[in-house]
Amino acid sequence: MNDIKKMLNKIKIVLLDLDGTIYLGDKLIGDVVNTLSLLRSAGKKLVYLTNNSSRSDEEYRKKLNARGILDENDDVYTSARATIEFLNAEHKGASVFFVGTDAVKKDFSDAGVKLTDEHHAEIAVLSYDVTLDFAKIRAFDIALKRGALYVATHPDAVCPAEDYSMPDVGSFIEMFKKSSGREPDVIIGKPYNGMGRAVVSRYKVNPEEVVMVGDRLYTDMAFAVNSGFKSMLVLSGETTKEMYDQSGMNLTVVFDSVNDWAEYL
């Protein structure tokens, strides 16, 4: 216990997955509100990190605030925001054909990304567009066939929902692979370390001062490993103890829920 406490005391940035980690559907997991408060009091910076790129930063803040889990000093960091930062750092001024919701498109525009409706854009960005229609599909396919750098915000095949999970960016990627013969040149979100590098740069920390808390082995925990972060698997969502034991992964900490952290503070 002392070794775990010593390691966790060194953590400065806590990256928190949402569904399965903080809440399940509309229900918060245990006394998570108090746990988050204790982490803040211990000097930890809380960052709600999600691959879902269908909502703007402001929309996410409103959603989390309505659940009573957002503090004014907490951050929300989506794969869409990480993609914006990647474009501005690596391809500043390049023309971008963007597929996404209007709210997220505005985030890109407000951040100075040079958006265009022209098919000969230098970069084509695919995000989780819940307003996707055939006109957008056709235009994006043409941009790919004309040789645009192909960037996807994240690789999730489906987005969990209360009734039936819906096709996510990973499914869109498979569709465009069939139609254009191309796969993304760059994927930003979990489990890839592009988002991890962005976190280190944004918060000016060493990787070992960051912990990723999540319930999925193949996204959250793989992301932690790929980024050099500490890994905290919580068994409150998708992954069971048996699944972890069979995975062969050697993670930093395995808790029943994030609330177990409270006893180490």
Per-residue pLDDT reduced to its tens digit, 183-217:
999 999 999 998 999 899 999 999 999 999 999 99
What's the CA gap between 208 and 118, in Å, rounded? 43
Helices (H), the chain: 2-9, 32-41, 57-66, 79-90, 102-110, 134-145, 169-180, 194-203, 222-227, 241-247
What's the CA gap between 7 and 3, in Å, rounded? 6
Token representation of residue 255: 């808790």
Residues 236-260: tens digit of each pLDDT:
998 999 999 999 999 999 999 999 9
What's the CA gap between 49 and 190, in Å, rounded? 9
Within 10 Å of residue 33's Cβ, how many Cβ atoms? 14
| pTM score, whole prediction | 0.89
